[in-house]
Structure 1
Amino acid sequence: MHSKAVEAGGGIFDRDLFVARLKEQTTTTWDVIVVGGGATGLGVAVDAASRGYKTLLLEQSDFAKGTSSRSTKLVHGGVRYLAQGDVSLVYEALHERGLLLQNAPHLVHVQPFVIPSYSLFNQGFYGIGLKVYDWMAGKYRFKKTELLGKKTVEKLLPNVAQHGLKGGIIYYDGQFDDARLAINLAQTAAEQGGVLLNYFKVTGLLKNETDKVAGVKARDLETGEEYNLNAKVVINATGVFVNDVLQMDKPAQDPLVRPSQGVHVVLDKSFLESETALMIPKTPDGRVLFAVPWHNHVLVGTTDTPLNSASLEPTALEDEISFILDTAGQYMTRKPGRKDVLSVFAGLRPLAAPAKGTNSTKEISRSHKLMVAESGLITITGGKWTTYRKMAEDTMAQAIVTGKLQAKPCATAHLKIHGYATPQAMTTYLDVYGSDAAGINALSSQRPELRKQLHPAFPNTQAEVVWAVQHEMARTVEDVLARRIRVLFLDAKAAIDMAPAVATIMASELGLNEAWKQDQVASFTKLANQYLLEAYEPASTVQNKTSQVA
């Protein structure tokens, strides 16, 4: 596979160029090698590169393929953690929430939430708690929490169940596009001088004569080429897969992480009929339920199911889907059913497990955990998207000591993330690209044929596919439809319908053949069907098969 070398926003973000740099530097030593291209790893890469360290990040799949593209899409302090008394985590997350809004306003925005109250006691209880939440945010507070009367709640949430409704509370948190932020963080790290490679799997650790970690063994999954890469410090930031890397260091040690599965279903926007989100802080069985407007759809979740193993492509369990639909139906006048689900996706939270065994996710810490092995391998895990920057700062503070790096201050608290654009300049669906939207528009002007929409139900055009290949290191149809334009997570059937056109454009840009196109469409269709409750094939595919039989 090859790609065209291009310059985006002042920084080169091109896989072939990064591979070439890697080959040029095989005999040199990197300051920092980061294993894992999710939120945590990308945050560490941005921190390390912006301090001036020679930084390499390796991701076995696509950036944010795992947990980091499968979140609830909230940048938040964690109302539920405040209720559990985890004050320090909430305080830290509220501070980081404010910094994220400041540094990536093209992706993070203020989201109003209404908690409907069906008892006056609950309204008072949650009202007091959320006033504390506001106070803890300090200068980074978004807007003031207010108590609402019944009529105001009905106006803000016209589809909320009205029987027994007493009033409600409105409070404000953040919302974002997780996978888009991940891509922008990768681009930011590259602009700071870092080298980042997707589809590059770490297969082992290099050790010196004193049994200290001195680098990694890695394989380019596109070419099969093997590399030995030296480093002063190696950071294991692989989320739910940290145990795999720990086993490379010291086989048979106890797992550091216990994965917990969160499931979300996506519905048509008519189920909420509002730009205000619905939040139920405690369902009858003690869970939290969100219904949040996202990209002109409604995201409903989430579950919290402990699992014993991790997967790159986790699947929702039937009882998780039923729980979300049944519980949402208790709070909505229009009750969603299985036929209404446009997409369902599962993500695994990398929860830092305590030493004692437990099967309750409520007993597992949501705080991040930093560990240094006897070999010098640094592992960072736990935490959440909102606190990715602080996790990276803590990790690099340790890496400076462990790797004996020249001490340099953290520069990320006020570092603008790639694509930075103020809300005043944002007016279309291309706003998630921030300042890069101008480049996509210019591409459409240069090549008018790329203005064609990929699907009548979505505004996305062929130009975005070209942009994803040239500027965002998209290598597969899944990369584009799942993590660059997000359609797989919004409407899996529409994504399947788009796949042939996306494959054709990508093959042209990457110089690939018809066999690659057919394989990509087939594999993506198989994958996308896991996001549906019933298998689906586009009419064109069915007709094509019929003609082949005839």
Structure 2
Amino acid sequence: MHSKVVEAGGSIFNRNKFVARLQQEPVIWDVIVVGGGATGLGVAVDAASRGYKTLLLEQADYAKGTSSRSTKLVHGGVRYLAQGDVSLVYEALHERGLLLQNAPHLVRVQPFVIPSYSLFNQGFYGIGLKIYDWMAGKYRFKKTELLGKKTVKNLLPNVAADNLKGGIVYYDGQFDDARLAINLAQTCAEQGGVLLNYFKVTGLTKDEKGKVAGVNARDLESGEEYQLQAKVVINATGVFVNDVLKMDTPAQDPLVRPSQGVHVVLDKSFLKSETALMIPKTPDGRVLFAVPWHGHVLVGTTDTPLNSSSLEPTALEDEIHFILDTAGQYMSRKPTRNDVLSVFAGLRPLAAPTKGTNSTKEISRSHKLIVADSGLITITGGKWTTYRKMAEDTMEKAITIGQLSAKPCATANLKIHGYAKPGTEANYLNVYGSDAQGIKELLNQRPELNKKLNTAFPNTQVEVVWAVQHEMARTVEDVLARRMRVLFLNAKVAIDMAPAVATIMANELGLSDAWKQNQVNNFVALANQYLLEPYALTSVETQSSSQVA
């Protein structure tokens, strides 16, 4: 990690400035949030927007774990409706509507078609989705419709046609998960919060009564240790909540059980459509989606119970085979291993069952809020779509536990950083929302940055500088995985981009050639975990790619 960092041109979302605030005179924070994924960021936004002194600490990068590895859907959950979890679906549909309202630059209405190969299934799913529409109430996107065979073929040109009877079209939401996480972090900063990535909580501190009074933490970049005081500490670490719970009570039973979801990414030609394909029941009872996303097709997901968690889970061969084989049954052009551009795995933090089970279908998707005897608050379970409601519930509890002055939740109508209604013109910079104008202004100041990082993608060098200056990107992985999403879309192209990105970052941050080479080596090793066959930079590629601004 680096230790020398240049100040970033006045950005409010700046790691150096946040670290400096920790080094000033000791402060008792109202709220310390541990974890920088969807849940933790949501809690931090809620706390800061109510006016509480808020600090969030994340051991890696924002959304490094599960929160950047979703199916990119903002949805009520058709699957959960079929399971009879009506309250979860109702809540999620309401939150889906608020997300579209508050972050229209990242959330959009996505049509889904369920192809039907029997008239019974068409009627069965049609009725269920009409109920789904009704439950959404005023937040309904568009009306579900039954389709004939010809219309299904028009919407999904590559759908398997043999025995096709028709289908159903319904509407849910799609988003960019990691981009939303970054925007939530920026929103929190604008509300007065302090957020630090690469800042690991190493323990909890307690008062003489055994109540949690703060955390011990280490800045992973500088190695400096901190003891930070708080009125309330919130454990929002996703699949790692058990680790923090053990800091409080070493004998604590696990609260969550991870379930692995895998996605493969294919070229857009496999779908040939901006309409998504939804397969409501696969041979083993799972749901499978093929979704257009950033000019590619995202296919998944699996649901595999695991016994341990890691920051970089890897896809199992059985999971890859299941996705390709099942998708191939519904596509006229059947994908093979050679067609996979990237494969990634994420771990869902499912609230653990009270009795032994090996089926994730029996584990609740609803969130759980737990207060330990020490006052440590843990929030776990849930899903991206309901992050805001989870945060609201958590802060209502935190106000009581931390004896904070009561203030109402302000997030239902809080515009998320970057808020901008999408224009009619398609532009890859649209995911930046209102920040797109800032990127254009930076480019006017530094026109030499108007160079593509790779001919296969539209991204230019100016975005790397923007990510460093305004989005707290600290590593090549931060930029290519979560600021630009290239690693998730095409891992080979991401590897080819790595030397250029490292050079630009080193120039911006005043870092050495050794840091740059280490970053490239680390990223190439990481990116190969997203590929089914190993891929390496050649020395020529490394040299030519590093000749940048």
Normalised TM-score (structure 2): 0.97
2:82 is matched with 83
* Equivalent AA in structure 2 for residue 388 of structure 1: Y
1:324 has 2:316 as partner = no
Task: Sort the Cα spacing of 1:310 and 1:426 in 2 relative to 1 into closer, same or farther, 3 A.
Answer: farther
Are the aligned partners of 1:239 and 1:350 in contact in 2 as well (CA < 8 Å)? yes
Partner SS state of residue 373, structure 2? coil
* Equivalent AA in structure 2 for residue 204 of structure 1: G
Task: Sort the Cα spacing of 1:318 and 1:207 in 2 relative to 1 into closer, same or farther, 3 A.
Answer: same
Are the aligned partners of 1:5 and 1:17 in contact in 2 as well (CA < 8 Å)? no
2:37 is matched with 38
* Equivalent AA in structure 2 for residue 50 of structure 1: S
Distance in structure 2 (CA, Å) of the matches to 1:82 and 1:213: 39
Are the aligned partners of 2:8 and 2:468 in contact in 1 as well (CA < 8 Å)? no
Are the aligned partners of 2:57 and 2:195 in contact in 1 as well (CA < 8 Å)? yes
1:548 is matched with none
Residue 304 of structure 1, CA deviation: 0.1
Distance in structure 2 (CA, Å) of the matches to 1:330 and 1:7: 53
Residue 359 of structure 1, CA deviation: 1.0
2:8 is matched with 5
2:547 is matched with none
Distance in structure 2 (CA, Å) of the matches to 1:7 and 1:176: 29
For residues 389-408 of structure 1, the C-alpha deviation after alignment (integer angstroms, 9 at most, x for no partner) is: 00000000000000000000
Are the aligned partners of 1:233 and 1:377 in contact in 2 as well (CA < 8 Å)? yes
Task: Sort the Cα spacing of 1:456 and 1:543 in 2 relative to 1 into closer, same or farther, 3 A.
Answer: closer
* Equivalent AA in structure 1 for residue 7 of structure 2: K
Are the aligned partners of 2:44 and 2:56 in contact in 1 as well (CA < 8 Å)? yes
Partner SS state of residue 453, structure 2? strand
Task: Sort the Cα spacing of 1:201 and 1:52 in 2 relative to 1 into closer, same or farther, 3 A.
Answer: same
2:244 is matched with 245
Residue 447 of structure 1, CA deviation: 0.8
Distance in structure 1 (CA, Å) of the matches to 2:48 and 2:424: 29
Are the aligned partners of 1:4 and 1:509 in contact in 2 as well (CA < 8 Å)? no
Identity %: 83
The 5-angstrom pairing of residues 161-180 of structure 1 reads: 161-180=160-179
For residues 153-212 of structure 1, the C-alpha deviation after alignment (integer angstroms, 9 at most, x for no partner) is: 000000000001000000000000000000000000000000000000000000000000
1:420 is matched with 419
Residue 525 of structure 1, CA deviation: 0.1
Q: How many residues align?
A: 541
Residue 6 of structure 1, CA deviation: 3.0
For residues 296-319 of structure 1, the C-alpha deviation after alignment (integer angstroms, 9 at most, x for no partner) is: 000000000000000000000000
The 5-angstrom pairing of residues 190-209 of structure 1 reads: 190-209=189-208
Residue 544 of structure 1, CA deviation: 7.0
For residues 129-170 of structure 1, the C-alpha deviation after alignment (integer angstroms, 9 at most, x for no partner) is: 000000000000000000000000000000000001000000
Residue 540 of structure 1, CA deviation: 3.8
The 5-angstrom pairing of residues 15-34 of structure 1 reads: 15-25=15-25, 27-34=26-33
Distance in structure 2 (CA, Å) of the matches to 1:477 and 1:100: 29
Distance in structure 1 (CA, Å) of the matches to 2:221 and 2:498: 21
For residues 119-138 of structure 1, the C-alpha deviation after alignment (integer angstroms, 9 at most, x for no partner) is: 00000000000000000000
Partner SS state of residue 364, structure 2? coil
Residue 538 of structure 1, CA deviation: 2.6
Distance in structure 2 (CA, Å) of the matches to 1:103 and 1:32: 24
Residue 542 of structure 1, CA deviation: 7.4
Are the aligned partners of 1:106 and 1:432 in contact in 2 as well (CA < 8 Å)? yes
Distance in structure 2 (CA, Å) of the matches to 1:444 and 1:520: 25
Distance in structure 1 (CA, Å) of the matches to 2:360 and 2:542: 47
Distance in structure 2 (CA, Å) of the matches to 1:169 and 1:544: 52
For residues 25-48 of structure 1, the C-alpha deviation after alignment (integer angstroms, 9 at most, x for no partner) is: 4x2200000000000000000000
Partner SS state of residue 325, structure 2? helix
2:219 is matched with 220
Distance in structure 1 (CA, Å) of the matches to 2:157 and 2:114: 13
Distance in structure 1 (CA, Å) of the matches to 2:41 and 2:541: 41
Residue 92 of structure 1, CA deviation: 0.1
Residue 284 of structure 1, CA deviation: 1.9
Gaps of 5+ in 1: 546-550
Are the aligned partners of 2:496 and 2:541 in contact in 1 as well (CA < 8 Å)? no
Deviates more, 1:418-427 or 1:193-202: 418-427
* Equivalent AA in structure 1 for residue 283 of structure 2: P
2:274 is matched with 275
Q: How well do the aligned residues superpose, as a CA RMSD in angstroms? A: 1.1
1:374 has 2:377 as partner = no
Task: Sort the Cα spacing of 1:425 and 1:317 in 2 relative to 1 into closer, same or farther, 3 A.
Answer: same
1:255 is matched with 254
1:389 has 2:392 as partner = no
For residues 54-84 of structure 1, the C-alpha deviation after alignment (integer angstroms, 9 at most, x for no partner) is: 0000000000000000000000000000000
Are the aligned partners of 1:3 and 1:14 in contact in 2 as well (CA < 8 Å)? no
For residues 485-533 of structure 1, the C-alpha deviation after alignment (integer angstroms, 9 at most, x for no partner) is: 0000000000000000000000000110000000000000000000000
Are the aligned partners of 1:3 and 1:469 in contact in 2 as well (CA < 8 Å)? no
Distance in structure 2 (CA, Å) of the matches to 1:93 and 1:203: 34
Distance in structure 2 (CA, Å) of the matches to 1:4 and 1:73: 33
2:298 is matched with 299
Partner SS state of residue 20, structure 2? helix
Distance in structure 2 (CA, Å) of the matches to 1:265 and 1:221: 32
Partner SS state of residue 453, structure 1? coil
Are the aligned partners of 2:257 and 2:352 in contact in 1 as well (CA < 8 Å)? yes
1:518 is matched with 517
Residue 424 of structure 1, CA deviation: 2.6
Residue 350 of structure 1, CA deviation: 0.3
Distance in structure 1 (CA, Å) of the matches to 2:74 and 2:68: 13
1:116 is matched with 115
Gaps of 5+ in 2: 545-549
* Equivalent AA in structure 2 for residue 17 of structure 1: K
For residues 223-245 of structure 1, the C-alpha deviation after alignment (integer angstroms, 9 at most, x for no partner) is: 10000000000000000000000
1:107 is matched with 106
Task: Sort the Cα spacing of 1:426 and 1:401 in 2 relative to 1 into closer, same or farther, 3 A.
Answer: farther
Residue 541 of structure 1, CA deviation: 5.5
Are the aligned partners of 2:499 and 2:542 in contact in 1 as well (CA < 8 Å)? no
1:133 is matched with 132
* Equivalent AA in structure 2 for residue 214 of structure 1: A
Distance in structure 2 (CA, Å) of the matches to 1:151 and 1:343: 32
Task: Sort the Cα spacing of 1:250 and 1:543 in 2 relative to 1 into closer, same or farther, 3 A.
Answer: closer
Are the aligned partners of 2:267 and 2:297 in contact in 1 as well (CA < 8 Å)? yes
Distance in structure 2 (CA, Å) of the matches to 1:69 and 1:432: 15
Residue 425 of structure 1, CA deviation: 6.8
Distance in structure 1 (CA, Å) of the matches to 2:304 and 2:426: 39
Distance in structure 1 (CA, Å) of the matches to 2:400 and 2:60: 30
Task: Sort the Cα spacing of 1:426 and 1:382 in 2 relative to 1 into closer, same or farther, 3 A.
Answer: farther
Distance in structure 2 (CA, Å) of the matches to 1:216 and 1:171: 47
2:182 is matched with 183
Partner SS state of residue 458, structure 1? coil
Distance in structure 2 (CA, Å) of the matches to 1:79 and 1:73: 15
1:495 has 2:498 as partner = no
Residue 426 of structure 1, CA deviation: 5.7
Residue 7 of structure 1, CA deviation: 3.6
Task: Sort the Cα spacing of 1:543 and 1:370 in 2 relative to 1 into closer, same or farther, 3 A.
Answer: closer
Partner SS state of residue 169, structure 2? strand
Distance in structure 2 (CA, Å) of the matches to 1:169 and 1:268: 25
Distance in structure 1 (CA, Å) of the matches to 2:414 and 2:458: 31
